Amino acid sequence: MQFMNLSLIFCLGILVFYYKIIYNAIRDRLRLYHYVGRFEGPTALPLIGHLYMVNIFDISKLVDQILHLALYYCNKGCGIVKLWVGPVPLLAVINPVYAKEVLESTEVITKADEYDILFPWLGTGLLTSTGDKWRQRRKMLTPAFHFKVLNDFLCVHDYQAKVFLDQIKPHADAGKEVDLFPYIKRCALDIICETSMGATVDAQNNHDHQYVESVRRLSEIGFQWIIYPWLKLKPIWYLTGTGFEYDRHLKIVTDFTKNVIEEKWNEYQQFQLGAEKKDKRSMAFLDLLLQLRSEGLMNEEDIREEVDTFMFEGHDTTAASMGWTLWCLAHNPEIQEKVIEEVDKIFGSSDRDCSNDDLKQMKYLEKCLKESLRMYPSVPFFGRKVEKDTVIHGDFFPKGARIVIVPLVLQRNPTLFENPNQYNPENFSEEKISARHAYADVPFSAGPRNCIGQKFAMMEEKAVLSWFFRKYRVTATQEFEENKILPELILKSSLGFPLKVHSRMDNK
């Protein structure tokens, strides 16, 4: 009898426990819906939300729909637009005033749940971590991007840029288009491998390197996971084969990184007390991480997370930026000639390497890069999760809300940029910059969670493209608008970058 009473009490306790969990979950969900419902947005359907607007057979149309919606609500004076990805509400920022408050917030720094797909790959590295871990990691890693350290990487940029020129030389003056994106991407991968890990992958000469393909597929699958809610269900994730493919590519990428880290750690231990110990200023990013490991500040998994993070963020983003810049310049020959004129003024007909002073003189090329990033930001969105009730620009954001900042929307806002769909580097003249809101252009994010590697990226892109325009011009036969935007984890192009490459006879 006593046993039965105890069993009954135990069962009742379990029921009460789960009742409270379910009750609290429903209460919190209804509260979230109530406050999110105060924001304006297009009509959503039950369960699927706004997914009926997404053409699963042509994802490029999604960008046109987003820009159209943003313009409509911008003209209505809205700063936030409510969107539903299935049953999940997102609050999209379309006004730089709201973007400033969100991105500068020291409270709203946790990445949204949409980043969960990256955790098996990047762990809780600098991109995905939050709270005290993020603050500590950011402080520890900032010295790795000091200008003295970045200057030491210029020799890597120069060397790999020359390999890039050798790779495309057979296509110059061939009279037909070549997709330059694979060549640019392999160049960017070799640069980030050598600068972040001190390792030579030689992807430019080894076109079938598995790492490149695996990163590409992880990015594609990751974006599918974000926009198609049914893939979040484990049975569907694996029954469709998507989960197995993701796991396979994940293992290739992480195993590659782990092997390099192990090799470099053995070297570090062997030479750290000897005469061959590297000067701190000339260390690769991984060398600095290994030093932190030797001081007990990081472990092997911490290092892998950060290296994988910078390998991912440091080659796909810069490759996309350089590719879109070439595409824009090919369709604006008068602007391209100004770039060539600037490059010739700095280097003449010499083949000498770039110096930091040279990069500082590339002011017009920098404008061109910034303008292509305005029109085609490498990172299509930044997501934040509200972890406690907060007020942003007078609007109440409940705990659990997800905020999405879309640079593509902000940076093509016709109230902020005249003729926003037209390529115009003068948008980044001092006069134009000073006349508009500082958060109208945020391709590298902004505030405390801005991109730690943005100076590195700009140095790399200026070095590689200046080498390119010393030797070549580009033209295009396909219309500018035919190359549609594909909104993956990193903004891609539907056609790649099919361009004709012409040798510069005037600079031989």
Q: Which residue ranges are tagged as binding site for heme?
A: 451
Question: Which residue has 């958060």 as its token pair?
Answer: 439
Residue 297 CA to residue 294 CA, distance in Å, equals 8
Helix, strand and coil in the chain, % to nearest 5: 60, 10, 30
Residue 145 CA to residue 90 CA, distance in Å, equals 33
Asked if 222 and 118 count as a contact pair (C-beta separation under 8 A), the reply is yes
Q: Which residues are annotated as a binding site?
A: 451
Which bin fits 97, alpha (ψ -120 to 50), beta or left (φ > 0)? alpha
Residue 140 CA to residue 296 CA, distance in Å, equals 13
Residues 6+ apart with CB under 8 A from 101: 392, 393
Residue 404 CA to residue 114 CA, distance in Å, equals 10
Q: Tell me the DSSP string of 88-133.
A: EEEEEE-SHHHHHHHHH-SSS-SBPGGGGGGHHHHTTSTTT--HHH
Tell me the residue type at 191.
I
Residue 455 CA to residue 314 CA, distance in Å, equals 11
Residues 6+ apart with CB under 8 A from 303: 261, 286, 289, 290, 293
Residue 458 CA to residue 74 CA, distance in Å, equals 31
For residue 74, give the nearest of 102, 54, 98, 57 by alpha carbon: 98
Angle at 443 between CA 116 and CA 429, to 5 degrees: 175
For residue 428, give the nearest of 325, 349, 337 by alpha carbon: 325
For residue 405, give the nearest of 116, 130, 70, 131 by alpha carbon: 70
What are residue 18's phi and psi, to 5 degrees? -70, -30
